[in-house]
A and B are shown apart, each in its own frame.
Chain A
Amino acid sequence: MGTAKKNPSQSTSHAGNTTASGRVGNATRLTGSEMIWATLEGEGVDVVFGYPGGAILPAYDALRKFPIRHVLVRHEQGAAHMADGYARASGRVGVCVATSGPGATNLVTGIATAMLDSVPIVCITGQVSSKVLGTDAFQEVDITGITLPVTKHNYVVTRAEDVARTIREAFLVAKSGRPGPVLVDITKDAQQATAEFDFAAAAPKPHRPHPMLKTESASILAAAELIRNAKKPVILAGHGVLQSRAGAELRTLAERMRIPVASTLLGLGGFPASHPLSLGMMGMHGEAWVNHAIQQSDLLIACGMRFDDRVTGTLATYAPDAKKIHIEVDPAEINKNVKVDVALIGDLKEALEALLPHLAPRDTKGESAWVKEIEASKGECAVRDIRNLPDSGHLYAAHVMHDLWKATEGKAIVVTDVGQHQMWEAQYYKHDEPRTLITSGGLGTMGFALPAAIGAKIACPDKEVWVVAGDGGFQMTAAELATAAQEELDLNIAIVNNGYLGMVRQWQEFFYEKNYQSTPLLSPDFVKLAEAHGIRGKAVKTRAEVLPAVAEAQKHKGPFVINFLVEREDSVYPMIPAGSALHEMIRRPNNPLVETAHDK
């Protein structure tokens, strides 16, 4: 790390930039602690999620001088998830703060969650004084070593003069190229020392694009040629559609060439679910017609997705007759899982902008035979859909999701946890807008929903935000209920309570002879738990109660918990067993009604 340049001339030239704290525009002497906040302020941060402790105390002491809101979490994992939820909802960089040692290690799951889903967050941790680094001092832990494989990059700062430059660089790294988490570990003595602070002079060098990006015209033309000639094309829309804000271009491509669009879990919302060309979610719990369409296609146009094993099934039999075009910002993803015919390596939006002029609209006298063929295959699936069966008095999670979608007109931000409820939400809540589904896809982190939703609500206070969590995952970070109460957030929380670690129970049912080892789950009375936090709550046992309860939660100002007591041994269909081909799925049973514990 070089020394931040002292440049007195900057102080006058940037005087116009002066912000609320009056520190960003001027070269002034500040403590390292003050610089942390001044730099964050300069980067446009107005809220951080954190938890104090000895090694970060100097920074906390300086916070009162800055116009930055601090949300006190109940566990640092929550802080990282909140920063993550904030980033996913807003498209901005989320920030979390923790002390050294246990504070820092508690962040790790949250950091890894952001890493696997390419979410830009900056984590600031306190560290023991540089004089005792490496001595196993009290609460010393090598957090940069620990987080090395789960951050895009990380830094140790031991001098006040490096604080501003490093934090500014961290923001740049977090959001450039394929985004991801960056951790900045700042020793206590660096926080306490003073140095010259000049925000403008601390600007990092422009980020160098990955040297292996490649969107040359030959590849664009080759891609256009494949698209023009395809008879059975499918677009695979991933998280990159949201991150590159390429929704409009994607839609133009789909509509102009009449190409159906399948989404990954993280891609949902990137293409409107209500659009006639939308197929819905692909992969392990995708509807049969989606996966069949992919298997039968002659061209896959993968946009900002990475052919994860949850969407391909076994690779040997994946879309055997399809040529593949891969448009992806990370060169390391090309040919990693699936060998592709044409790769456009670069920003998705830019690549699509370059591609579209080469594509004349497909002649559309009526829908293409391909789209009709897919449409026809939907009908058979719909018969088995639980929504089309008469109300038996049982409450199914699918009903809850469907009704929630209706009641919120599909416009809420839904933050899901991990498990069956996550898949039911993805199947039955139709997302038309990007960034309205926030979920942990890559890492599949239980406990994500509540804290991430707190972050999302703070990022988008005017949006209706719903947590959808299982009874298991909710308990992993339930302590953040207190955070929601303390921050007086108007947050709606739906617990899909099936009395099991449901997704694991489902695997045990299908693949382990119903040996329900360690999956039945005793939970507290969630309504009483909410009440203990001063939060309103309601239990729902029947379909008829769903809409009124949702309406009550919507009307109520402040957090509201609904405990949906759903069918205990329901399963998510269809399902492709891990390691099977994409078309070898376990279909919905003809009669999904199962005997339940409630009946006995």
Chain B
Amino acid sequence: MTELLSIFEYQFFRHAMAAAVLTSILAAMIGTYIVSRKIVFISGGITHASFGGIGMAFYMGLNPFFGAAVFAVLTALGIEWISSRGKVREDSAIAILWSLGMALGIIFVFLTPGYTPNLMSFLFGSILSVGIAELQLLLIFCIFMALFYLVFYRPVVYSAFDPEFSKIMGIPVAFYRYIMAVLIALAIVISIRTVGIILVLSLFTIPQITAMLFTRSFARIIPLAALWGIIGSVAGLYSAYLFDIPTGAAMIFFLTLQFLVIKGIFLIRGLLIRTAA
């Protein structure tokens, strides 16, 4: 036990822990919306398109997160616009943006003169090098998101659930959908730091799906998803340290394992109840 705690003497590990907890909370708030509206694929498109921004920013010598944010937000707005018009087949449009983003990212990184040491950290995350400024940004985003839901819970959920009825009730549905698209994009980009582009979406979906085994109320999924997210990612972080494996992958592995175990328990319990009856 003391050995497990002794690692907290290292500042980088304290930061990593804080990042895991804050990212889990943020992902719980945003991911519940993503899973409820069944826009996981859209969110995947946003995530991968952002890689184009990272590559371009590298090439132009800008902050890669700035590049990622610009690309992600534009993609999110674009997809929301396409789906509101309902003309182009939405999933094809997403697939195009998805691969275009990845291709652009790779091309620009290739074109960038000199060594690009951070590329892997964008793909797989680098939670162990998270600095205090990033933690502050995460914390601010979490607080903002919580306040946002506190005030706008009704219109956000209703616009997602039944946009036509909400429109009739005078809710500015398009406004809320675009706002949420931007927030999804920004939350994903901030979380890329923790687990990387390839795995970030798991953080926004697996804890939520786990939580939905227990409750089917939007408002209750959020805290429960945060809890499962924190447990899984902290466990992953510890095992990454103990077994010397990549952190992002370990976190997602534990989140998935946790889901499978709980799902299994539910299945067995259901089976027992049925045979007893």
User: A and B: partners?
Assistant: no
Interface residues of B (CB under 8 A from A): none
Interface residues of A (CB under 8 A from B): none
